[in-house]
Chain A
Amino acid sequence: MGGLAGVPFGGVTAFGAMAHHIPDSGSCLLVYGPHVGVNSNGVVGTVDRRGRCKGGSCCGSAVAAAAYVKGVVQECQKPLCPPTEAYDAQQFFVGNMLLPYGKRLCQARDPMVELPYALYDAQTDLIQKIVNKGSAQVHGDGKIALLGGIQINTPPGLPDYFLPLRFDVLDNEANVMEKVIQGPPRVSERDPPDASHWIFFSLIWCDFAFHCNRLPLRWWKVNFQKLCPMPT
């Protein structure tokens, strides 16, 4: 039921149809999410493509939507109106769904890394709305397993990856029965902190390093950078 950028554009109708195709007494598993390429030079947001000298954007729809969002948020361009025709409606909706994440994208250290996380959040919101409306179409004791994350495309010869950010089992009233994994912190928690946070965390780090100086300094630096990246 996915379309451009991985958005579940099949919507409520497609979810309902899928639910009606589940084998009797069975359950369904819904895997969803955006994708991002990493090319053979390690550049995020692009990918090597079969038979092409130059790879290009990956995901192209997402990169186009991010450019639209940047135009609206930073350059005060007027947001587009909903389309009356279908011939490019999906891309409008991708851009529109990404708009609430515009500030986050514009402030990110690497917008190409942030983009799939923002898209994932937008898609999770839509999936939730679809499941809330369509879950009753799953009959009997049927379950709805939701595995959401980011698909990572790599050069030929290497395995592709999937970063799971959510793996929940729901009943047919859309209640979460079990969280199979605890996803990593939301992206907003990983955003670069402002200067006051930086000083605060620096003090903690100094104190922590003093008491734990038997560990290699590099280990602390690497892990601290992950927890609290330098403000840009």
Chain B
Amino acid sequence: VVESEFPKALPNADLIAMMTKRLKPYGYGKSSLLCTSLCCDEVNRSLEIDLQAAFGDHFHIGGLAGFAFGGVTGFGAMMSHIPDGGSCMVVYGPHVGVDSMGRIGTVDRRGREHGGACCGSAVAAAAYVKGVLNGEPKADAPTDPLDAQQSYVGSMLLPYAEQISEATDPMHELPFALFKAQDKLMKQIVGKMTGKLVDRQKIALVGGIQINTPDGAPDYFLPLRFEVLSNKGRVVNDLLDQ
């Protein structure tokens, strides 16, 4: 199902091998810092564990659905932790489950007879944007942190409401729409922070969709952006299709 529905998705091990090989010419190695922006759902920790084994401890700026809610402050703090003269790589994106029956948008969960939505936050946000598309009122911007993240997930998904509702399989379309929203937020954050690095330091952006699978099968990552940026935010090289 993963190979037919998400062509070009790579098992996590292949993703890490590709990142290591393609980033090496840009000086990535011991002086690099890994940053992740992945959803807080525990099914996403396996990718982080694999990435950490290859690149060391990570700085995390992700929140619900994988949005980079650590924001400008989180990204700035991460940049100030890069080893002297080194560069950073940011792995980000939403996730979607595929269960043992091949259904997209749900996943088998440890110790549970019934799995459930995956990503749950994304599915709830999709219901919200569908409601707004059908004439229900938009929610106000949050004023306290009690459930602010979910409110932001919904508002950032709103521009993609039609794209999701018109799709043959909304559960398949949802992570692609979420990726667009998260990519936009990531560019907004990076755009505000690029001047903080010195000349030879770089920012590698590895964005895509994480695909969670049943126990015993590898998880996958579908890369949709793989770029190396200069310290000024200019794209030095697009590594996605190399």
Query: A: which residues have CB within 8 A of B?
Result: 1, 3-4, 7, 9-14, 17-18, 20-24, 26, 49-53, 56, 60-61, 64, 82-84, 86-91, 93, 97, 126, 129-130, 133
B92 at the interface (CB under 8 A from A): no
Most buried by A among B72, B149, B188: B149
Given contacts A23-B111, A51-B30, A51-B84, is CB(A88)–CB(B77) below 8 Å?
Answer: no
Given contacts A13-B150, A82-B141, is CB(A88)–CB(B72) below 8 Å?
Answer: yes
- The answer to whether B113 touches A10, judged by C-beta atoms less than 8 angstroms apart, is no
B63 at the interface (CB under 8 A from A): yes
Extra pairs beyond A10-B149, A89-B69 (13, CB < 8 Å): A3-B74, A9-B69, A9-B148, A11-B146, A12-B147, A13-B121, A13-B124, A22-B111, A23-B109, A24-B112, A86-B71, A87-B71, A91-B74
B142 at the interface (CB under 8 A from A): yes
CB < 8 Å neighbour of A14 from B30, B40, B84, B110: B40
CB < 8 Å neighbour of A86 from B69, B110, B192: B69
B67 at the interface (CB under 8 A from A): yes
Name B134-150 residues within 8 Å CB distance of A: 141-150
Residues of B within 8 A of A18 (CB): 42
Residues of B within 8 A of A83 (CB): 141
- In the assembled complex, the Cα of A17 lies from the Cα of B119 at a distance in Å of 9
Most buried by A among B83, B110, B145, B192: B145
Q: Which 4 A-B pairs have the closest CB atoms?
A: A23-B111, A51-B83, A91-B73, A13-B150
CB < 8 Å neighbour of A21 from B42, B69, B121: B42
Name B73-101 residues within 8 Å CB distance of A: 73-74, 77, 80-84, 86
Shortest distance between the CB of A30 and any CB in chain B (Å)? 12
- The answer to whether B116 touches A21, judged by C-beta atoms less than 8 angstroms apart, is yes
Given contacts A4-B74, A21-B42, A64-B73, is CB(A52)–CB(B84) below 8 Å?
Answer: yes
Residues of A within 8 A of B120 (CB): 13, 17, 20
What is the total number of residues of chain B having a CB less than 8 Å from a CB of chain A? 48
- The answer to whether B64 touches A4, judged by C-beta atoms less than 8 angstroms apart, is no
Given contacts A10-B64, A23-B112, is CB(A89)–CB(B152) below 8 Å?
Answer: yes
- The answer to whether B149 touches A13, judged by C-beta atoms less than 8 angstroms apart, is yes
Residues of B within 8 A of A90 (CB): 69-71, 73-74, 145
- The answer to whether B189 touches A87, judged by C-beta atoms less than 8 angstroms apart, is yes
Residues of B within 8 A of A11 (CB): 64, 145-150
Residues of B within 8 A of A24 (CB): 111-113
Residues of A within 8 A of B64 (CB): 10-11, 13-14
Shortest distance between the CB of A7 and any CB in chain B (Å)? 7
Q: Report the nearest A residue to B192, measured CB to CB.
A: A87
B116-135 contact mask (Cβ, 8 Å, vs A): 1 or 0: 10001100100000000000
CB < 8 Å neighbour of B72 from A22, A84, A87, A97: A87
- The answer to whether A9 touches B121, judged by C-beta atoms less than 8 angstroms apart, is no
What are 25 residue pairs bridging A and B, where the CB atoms are less than 8 Å apart in the complex? A9-B145, A9-B149, A10-B63, A12-B146, A12-B150, A13-B149, A23-B110, A26-B111, A50-B83, A53-B84, A61-B77, A64-B73, A82-B142, A86-B67, A86-B69, A86-B152, A86-B155, A86-B185, A87-B192, A88-B71, A88-B73, A89-B148, A91-B74, A93-B145, A129-B146
Given contacts A14-B121, A87-B72, is CB(A52)–CB(B148) below 8 Å?
Answer: no
Shortest distance between the CB of A92 and any CB in chain B (Å)? 9
CB < 8 Å neighbour of B112 from A21, A84, A88, A97: A21
- In the assembled complex, the Cα of A87 lies from the Cα of B82 at a distance in Å of 21
- The answer to whether A4 touches B147, judged by C-beta atoms less than 8 angstroms apart, is no
Residues of A within 8 A of B124 (CB): 13
Shortest distance between the CB of B12 and any CB in chain A (Å)? 20
Residues of A within 8 A of B149 (CB): 9-11, 13-14
Residues of A within 8 A of B185 (CB): 86-87
